Amino acid sequence: MRIRLIAVGRRMPKWVVAGYEEFAKRLPRECRLELVELNPGDRSGGDVQRARQTEADRILDKLGERDHVIALDELGREATSAGWADAFESWLHSGRDVAFIIGGPDGLDERVLQRADHTWALAKMTLPHALVRVVVAEQVYRAWSIVSGHPYHR
């Protein structure tokens, strides 16, 4: 199973890159985690809606027809680590690739939310986009460890 983290934004701080890579490298080959970074839409003219639409075009272009898509949005459903593990196990058996979507600074366009199979929130509070990358990588690794019986999650 291929798991992609499709994120709007580039040039993350070193601590973000290091944190993400630490968890991504722990995963076995059969469920590798791949980061796909997309350029944000142009906000220089103050047209936020147009920027979100541009980002949506870029995100949707990266999705496969059969991908299982999880949009990360502050209005989504919160899940526990055990819930992530249950979902992870079902994805393993489905044969479909998985894509987590992190939008730009103004969130996700409605078209991306409609394409998503699930909309999840990582917390009730707003998290910095950079930190979300690390949290998702850690939770994917934690879900794998729960499903695999690895002692990381106790």
Residue-wise pLDDT tens digits, 57-97: 999 999 999 999 999 998 999 988 999 999 999 988 898 99
Summarize the annotated binding site as residue ranges: 72, 103, 122-127
Specify the CATH number for the domain of residue 45.
Answer: 3.40.1280.10
pLDDT tens-digit map of 6-59: 999 988 999 999 999 999 999 999 889 999 999 999 988 888 999 999 999 999
Convert 87-119 to b/e letters by CB count within 10 Å (16 or more is b).
bbeebbeeebbbbbbbbbeebbbeebbebbeeb
Q: Are 106 and 129 in contact (CB under 8 A)?
A: no
Residue 153 has pLDDT above 80, yes or no: no
The pLDDT of residue 45 is 86
For residue 12, tell me if it sits in a domain: yes
Can you tell me which residue has the tokens 């991306």?
112
Please check whether residue 154 lies inside any domain of the structure: no
Binding-site residues for S-adenosyl-L-methionine: 72, 103, 122-127
Predicted confidence (pLDDT) per residue in 15-27, tens digit: 999 999 999 999 9
Residue 122 lies in a domain: yes
Per-residue pLDDT tens for 99-114? 999 999 899 999 999 9
